[in-house]
A and B are shown apart, each in its own frame.
Chain A
Amino acid sequence: MIPLEHFLTLSGILFSLGLFGVLARRNAVLILMSIELMLNAVNINLVAFSAYLVSTEFVGQVFALFVIVVAAAEVGLALSIIIAIYRSRATSNVDEVDLMKW
Chain B
Amino acid sequence: MTGAQFLFYALGLATVMGGLGVVLSRNVVHSALALLLSLIAVAGIYVLLYAEFLALVQVLIYGGAIVILLLFVLMLTRSGESPLVLDNPQKPVALVVSLLFMAIAIVSFFLTRWKLAQAPRGVDFSVLGGSLFQDWVLPFEVASLVLLVALMGAIIIARESPQ
Residues of A at the B interface (CB closer than 8 Å) are 1-2, 4-10, 12-21, 23-27, 29-30, 32-34, 36-37, 40, 43-44, 47-48, 50-55, 57-58, 61-62, 64-66, 68-77, 79-84, 86-87, 90-93, 95
Check if B146 sits within 8 Å of A80, measured CB to CB: no
In whole angstroms, how far apart are the Cα atoms of A6 and B117 in the complex?
16
Residues of B20-44 whose CB lies within 8 A of A: 20, 22-23, 28, 31-32, 35, 38-39, 42
- Residues in A with CB closer than 8 Å to B73 are 29, 79, 82-83
Check if B122 sits within 8 Å of A69, measured CB to CB: no
Residues of B at the A interface (CB closer than 8 Å) are 4-5, 8, 12, 15-16, 19-20, 22-23, 28, 31-32, 35, 38-39, 42, 45-46, 48-51, 53-54, 57-58, 61-62, 65-66, 69-70, 73-74, 76-77, 79, 85-88, 90-91, 93-95, 97-99, 101-102, 105-106, 109-110, 114-117, 119-123, 127-128, 131-132, 135-136, 139, 143, 146-147, 149-151, 153-155, 157-158, 160
- Residues in B with CB closer than 8 Å to A6 are 8, 12
Contact A25 B86, CB 8 Å, known A68-B58, A80-B155, A83-B158: yes
Q: How many A-B residue pairs have CB under 8 A?
A: 237
Contact A80 B154, CB 8 Å, known A17-B22, A47-B49, A58-B123: yes
Check if B131 sits within 8 Å of A81, measured CB to CB: no
Check if A16 sits within 8 Å of B132, measured CB to CB: no
In whole angstroms, how far apart are the Cα atoms of A36 and B38 in the complex?
10
- Residues in A with CB closer than 8 Å to B31 are 30, 33
Question: Pick the contact of A93 from B4, B19, B79 — CB < 8 Å?
Answer: B79
Closest Cβ–Cβ distance, residue B144 to chain A (whole Å):
8
